Amino acid sequence: MDLELRHLKIVRAVADAGSLTRAATALGLAQPALSAQLKRIERALGGELFERGRDGVRTTALGELVLERARVLLPALSELQEEAVRFARGGAAGYRLGGTHGPLLGGLVDRIAHQEPGVPVTTSTSWSEREIAQGVAAGRLDFALVGACGESAPPEPGRLAWLEVARDPVHVMLADDHPLARRAEIELAELAAEAWTDVPGDGCFGDCFAAACVRAGFTPACVYETDTASCVHLVQVGRAVGLCRATFPATPGVVARPLAGSPLVWRHLLGWHPAAPAAARAPGVLAHARSAHAEALARSSGAAQAAVAFSITTGTSGTSPCPPARPVRTAAMESTTS
């Protein structure tokens, strides 16, 4: 049997997992099939790569040698494949943009389309900042428009170039009849009795939010993690309050207010691969992204100021961990992005 890349991936997976059972799960194989495959690999390499025991497996001296080479070869070949994809697609016209859900991606598309009419623009969205960044690193996308909590590092920091588009304080979404809705800003501690709702993500924002709550003297009693439209609905009917970016657009039945002292900050980032042909267009894309942010922020700020001036507060906020909902509004809910 000739040794192949997939064999090296199996050896690495077994070593990383520390047991055949966990490695089989990670690889999507049945354990007997993995054991049989590993025995064939060991025969091809001339000896045992792992010592089996009750507590799992440990690499032998031969296994360490093979692993040392595999951990050099596998990343190198992966990078070769990505470089080839970028080279093959280098002459393609247009912009391939990836982003997490929010108003900036749409604003960026609009500005590029207005500036360069007829040039194709495609988009790809995901809740995962890491997934979008990997798409740029692999040459499937030209630019990533994502966010990072506070000063946390963006994904793929060693492979992609990143520049900050803007940074905003995180706001809280409230039903427009919430007792605090007319306030210009709200102390986080004033929301200690509320249930919360937020969209998923793979960054540290959830941990940073929990830490901010602890500093404010409480622990969130109930957090609903769901899609944007459901977050908005839960806020509209008074089931929860939500977290959103400062660029959150005007939405019927909802107001967005800054948290006093800005305990949470969101950074909008633009990323690209410095070796990709699209890198030459990065300054122009960055300028468009900053303009899109400024426009979205102006719209959001204007809506917030109008809501403070004209809103009428009624009803009371819930005090139980998951409070009862306020009466559902009859107006149709509009889907929006945070």
How does pLDDT run across 111-155, given as a tens digit for each residue? Answer: 999 999 888 999 999 989 999 999 999 889 999 999 888 888 898
Per-residue pLDDT at 118? 85
Closest CA to 42 of 10, 72, 75: 10
Q: Residue 11: its pLDDT value, please?
A: 92
Q: What pLDDT, on a 0 to 100 scale, did the predictor assign at position 315? A: 34
* Residue 148 bridge partners (DSSP): 267
Q: What is the pLDDT of residue 93?
A: 64
Distance CA 253, CA 331 (A): 9
Name the stretches of the chain with pLDDT < 70. 83, 85-93, 301-338
pLDDT at 241: 95
Cβ pair 244, 256 in contact under 8 A: yes
Supply the pTM of this predicted model: 0.64
Q: For residue 87, what pLDDT is reported? A: 59
